[in-house]
Amino acid sequence: MFIGPIELPNPLFVAPMAGVTDRPFRQLCKRLGAGYAVSEMITSRPELQDTPKTQRRRDHRGETAPIAVQIAGTEPILMAEAARDNIAHGAQVIDINMGCPAKKVCNVWAGSALMRDETLALRIIEAVVTAAAPHGVPVTLKMRTGWCADSRNAVRLAERAQALGVAMVTVHGRTREQGYKGEAEYATITAVKAALHIPVVANGDIDSPEKAHAVLQATGADALMIGRAAQGRPWIFGEIAHYLATGQHLPPPATLQVRDWLLHHLDEHYQLYGERSGVRSARKHIGWYTAGLPGATVFRARMNAVDNTLEQHRLVQDYFDTLARTHGLLPERSAAAPALEHAA
């Protein structure tokens, strides 16, 4: 699996998710089996380049290559400058966001709203490819099947993006109008794959090894991108890789192994965000890890009342130590996870 000149260890990708796929989460997913991960989207607006949020999203210290950065915006000149700026900060792949369905993004005609204006979308693609080319950095595109059911233009846009030099296309199997409702459809992804000679990545509702296999078989895609299903379950990439290679399921991870993964994740999270922001932003990750596990509701209520990282870390360790005394392997979850963040 290649993106331009860059060879990847496997075709299992972590989707860019705002507020989720920061450096600690990307690194953990890579350690647990993902072959590639894309950053949270970084705005191209120059007045926001020096904010703490943007600075954290451009922090790639110690990150395993390749470093892929997603950029978002509506102005070709600013998007080209954002590409150059992120390359200067270590980006080895630039991904263009034309898939985010969030209203605050689409209301300013960024993200998937660009699929309604193909002329502007293509001007942005051309500008970013031109900016990245002198640095030898490939450009990729993430999009949806279209704006709405009556305007599924993914094939046409993907063909034109390929002609402009895009090295890979990822398609989420929903329109912008759908958001995250209903089920993803893969017929459009199949059509995009048939039309292109560059790699095509399938995204949407891939939440188990069996589903991963079925989507690959149905679409002929070169790779799979997984987003929400990895929240609180970053080992899903290793599970899928094993199933695709052997046809067999891995046993659930040991409870104490999950404890160690989460504690290491928290340590790196605190280092990136600091005390005040770190303890708050870590709560959603802890909630996803523990959703549906025995005693999790009481545990989360206690954990959410804590306002320092040391105590939060201790509560997590105590919870999993207690769980391990009765469950050697991580038990089956008894309920759905809390509300999930959305992928870009």
Closest residue by Cα to residue 134 from 80, 72, 66, 196: 80
Bridge partners of residue 139, in order along the sequence? 94
Handedness of CA 317, 27, 174, 113 (dihedral sign): positive
Gyration radius of the chain over CA positions: 20
Tokens of 1: 């699996």
Rounded-to-10 torsion of CA 114, 119, 125, 128: -100
Distance between CA 142 and CA 201 in Å, rounded?
A: 9
Bridge partners of residue 202, in order along the sequence? 171, 224
Specify whether 106 is catalytic.
no
Distance between CA 97 and CA 140 in Å, rounded?
A: 9
Distance between CA 214 and CA 263 in Å, rounded?
A: 33
Asked if 280 contacts 309 with a C-beta cutoff of 8 angstroms, the reply is no
Task: Calculate the alpha carbon distances from 62 to 56, 71, 189, 272, 330 in Å.
Answer: 13, 21, 34, 12, 30
User: Residue 321: what are its φ and ψ, rounded to 5°?
Assistant: -65, -40
Active-site amino acid positions: 100
